[in-house]
Amino acid sequence: MKNFAGKICFVTGGASGAGLGQAKLFAKNGMKVAIADVREDALENAVKEIVAYAGCAEADVLPLKVDLTNRAEYTAAADKVEETFGGPPHLLIQTAGVNSFGPVEASTFDDFDWVVGVCFNHVVNGLLIFVPRMIKAYANKEEFHVATTASMGGLMAGAGTGPYSAAKAGVINLMYSYADALKKYGGGATVLCPGNINSNIGNAEKYRPAHLKNTGYHVTEGTMMHLRSVHAIGIDPVELAEILKEAIENGRILALPDHNPESWKDQLRGLNETIENYTLTKAERDAIQAEKMKAMKEMMEKMKAEGKEVPMMGWAVPEGGEAFGQARKDLDWIKR
């Protein structure tokens, strides 16, 4: 998709962080933008920010208060967009998400239901609700595109990111299916995989729905403060939106911000190599791994010798904070 002006964009999670950055950027590029979010107060503020940033008319920004995990609510929001802007979106960007971290073996059903519900199921809801409408309205007549904000977490998992990484991996995989499927209608698909965004996601636990509150993780004001401090050094949302836009314009499925730390890029290269090298024997794989570990050690020693900052394997807890990613304290089977 190359031309955005005058067309319709629908951004989920558009009241904050990455989604708000996308709404601002595509509004500035002349699109009418609907922003769907569960937080009403944040929506009101977002409309003002979008209008100020894009210099567009307030009538070209449609705020929709909706719990995107609720299919009836999501469908009603889709109807409202058609009614207001005269058609379904040409560009659907599904960015709403929440995170919650802790040992995967401590996870509860509520942890999975909440994180997978928002990060994966809402994406499915949007695709099923909008894609048929987009095909009917635009197939081989007008450009249209579906995009999703997944995460680097979907490309590589860790012991403390189980539900989140699984949901994001599912989204990435699904977008490959849509990219392939939409070709014959003249549509495209892109999945954005950021590493760290300067956003409000560190506060997500505050609006975890009441019926999904039974977490297996240790969550306090202090752990949220730590998480916020990590995200505070993330990429700027509008800068991230530019990366997504460039990928959409060039018809690329994967949008990977360069902003991701070198250590993550190395992990990704390692994962690719593992897949590429799956026919090798264990001894051959071990030899490759040993070579890489040696090179990494040498690189870190060299950086130390040159007085450069050696990349941290974790993030420091700020004063007054508490480390996030731990199990709830009463779970007695967890090794700490």
DSSP SS3 for 234: coil
Of positions 200, 222, 242, 285, contacts ligand NAI by CB under 6 A: 200
- Active-site residue, 176 included: no
Does residue 172 touch ligand NAI according to CB under 6 A? no
Of positions 204, 225, 227, 241, contacts ligand NAI by CB under 6 A: 204
Does residue 50 touch ligand NAI according to CB under 6 A? no
Does residue 37 touch ligand NAI according to CB under 6 A? yes
Tokens of 79: 């109807």
Judged by CB under 6 A, the number of residues near ligand NAI is 32
Does residue 97 touch ligand NAI according to CB under 6 A? yes
Neighbours of 237 (CB within 10 A): 23
From 138, 164, 178, 217, the catalytic residue: 164
Does residue 231 touch ligand NAI according to CB under 6 A? yes
What is the smallest separation between the CB atom of 202 and ligand NAI, expressed in angstroms? Answer: 8
What is the smallest separation between the CB atom of 225 and ligand NAI, expressed in angstroms? Answer: 15
Does residue 199 touch ligand NAI according to CB under 6 A? yes
* 164 CB-contact burial (10 Å; exposed 0-12 / middle 13-18 / buried 19+): buried
Of positions 1, 9, 13, 93, contacts ligand NAI by CB under 6 A: 13
DSSP 176-231: HHHHHHHGGGTEEEEEE--S-BSSSGGGGGGG--GGG---SB---HHHHHHHHHHH
Does residue 19 touch ligand NAI according to CB under 6 A? yes
Of positions 62, 91, 93, 98, contacts ligand NAI by CB under 6 A: 98
Report how far residue 19's alpha carbon sits from residue 181's, in angstroms, rounded to the nearest whole number. 25
- Torsion sign (Cα): 207, 213, 217, 220: positive
Report how far residue 242's alpha carbon sits from residue 158's, in angstroms, rounded to the nearest whole number. 28
Does residue 24 touch ligand NAI according to CB under 6 A? no
What is the smallest separation between the CB atom of 125 and ligand NAI, expressed in angstroms? Answer: 10
Contact 112, 100 (CB under 8 A): no
224 Cβ partners below 8 Å, 6+ apart? 202, 203, 205, 206, 324
Q: Which residues are catalytic?
A: 164
Binding site for ligand NAI (CB under 6 A): 13, 15-19, 37-39, 42, 66-69, 95-99, 118-119, 149, 151, 194, 196-197, 199-201, 204, 231, 234
